[in-house]
Structures are given as C-alpha cells and as structure tokens.
Amino acid sequence: MRTTTTPDVAETSAVAERVHRDEERQAIRLHGLHVDVERRGYDILLARLHGDIDIASAPGLRRCVDLVPEHGRGLVLDLDGVEFLGSAGISILVDLARNPPREDVRWAVAASGRAVLRPLEATGYLNLVPAYPTVDAAMAAVRSAGGTRHSG
C-alpha cells in the first residue's frame, strides 16, 4: 500500500478522488494537523488525525467528510492522536452530528484521551457526538444498521 502526502487543504478533493479509485492509503497535512486516510472495505473510510484541531486546521477536519466514497456509508474519525481540540473543531463535530453529508452516511469518533473527551464533555456535546473508546468499537457502530452508542 503506497502512501502519498498532500501539502494543503486545496488538494483534498484530488486526494478524495484517489481514495475513491484506489485502495491506497492517503496522507494529508493541514496546518499542523496530519490525517492518514484509508479505505476499510468498500464502504467505510478511516481517518486517523494527529496534531491540533484549532481554527486553522478545523476546515480540514470537515473536509474529511468529503472523502466518504460516493456510494459508501461510513466514516470513522480516529482522534486518539489529537493533542488539542478547540472550539472550531468541536463546532465541526457538532455540525456533522446535526447535519450529516447524506442521510444514509453513518459516522463515529474513536477517542479515549482527555484532549478530545474533556472539551466535548465540558461543552455538553459528548452525548451528541457518536464517540467510542476504540477504532474497533467505532467501526462496529458504523457498520451496524442500528448500532447503539457506547462512549468511554
């Protein structure tokens, strides 16, 4: 599996096209945020985020949603590598929870660290964002048609 690196947000749609076509892994850098994206099966993308999600990089988080395959049904955002989740990042997650890209798209967050869970809890949004303690649990929830939310 080959890895490519894209230097900025402007090229995200080109990366999305390559993820849709190929089984290769993609790496995207967005203002201090590094995102590794891989397809899990035909219909689910796993995006592993590393770094800070702040005002400069939050639009890149939102663009991860654009990587969901056209006929796919899911996205898992692995946020265990996130060291800071600011209000701009929280806003993106809340917007995604309230306004998914398509009605049939399921998504979940995998997060076990305080850097992500504490801001979501402090703002009262932990119950709105579908957060799970592991990538496996988040994947299972996205794959399941009527999955129950389990946060950790």
- If phi > 0 it is left, if psi is from -120 to 50 it is alpha, else beta; for residue 47 that is beta
- pLDDT value of position 70: 65
pLDDT, tens only, 102-150:
888 899 999 999 999 999 999 999 999 999 999 999 999 999 954 334 4
Q: Retrieve residue 84's tokens.
A: 């800071």
Q: Domain residue spans in the chain?
A: 3-143
Contact 131, 120 (CB under 8 A): yes
pLDDT at 46 over 80: yes
Note the pTM of the prediction, 2 decimals. 0.79
pLDDT at 152 over 80: no
- pLDDT value of position 99: 87
pLDDT at 2 over 80: no
Contact 16, 66 (CB under 8 A): yes
pLDDT, tens only, 49-94:
999 999 999 888 877 877 775 657 899 999 999 999 999 999 999 9
The total of other beta-carbon atoms located within 10 Å of residue 29's CB is 17
- pLDDT value of position 133: 98
Residue 106 contacts by C-beta under 8 Å, 6 or more apart in sequence?
73, 74, 75, 141, 142, 147
- Kindly give the interhelix angle for 87-98 and 114-122, rounded to the nearest 10 degrees: 70
pLDDT at 23 over 60: no
Cα–Cα distance for residue pair 111/117, rounded to 1 Å:
7
Residue 48 sits at φ, ψ, to 5 deg, of -100, 115
- pLDDT value of position 64: 80
Q: Under CATH, domain 3-143 is a member of which superfamily?
A: STAS domain (3.30.750.24)
- pLDDT value of position 1: 42
* Structure-token match 């703002």, residue found: 123
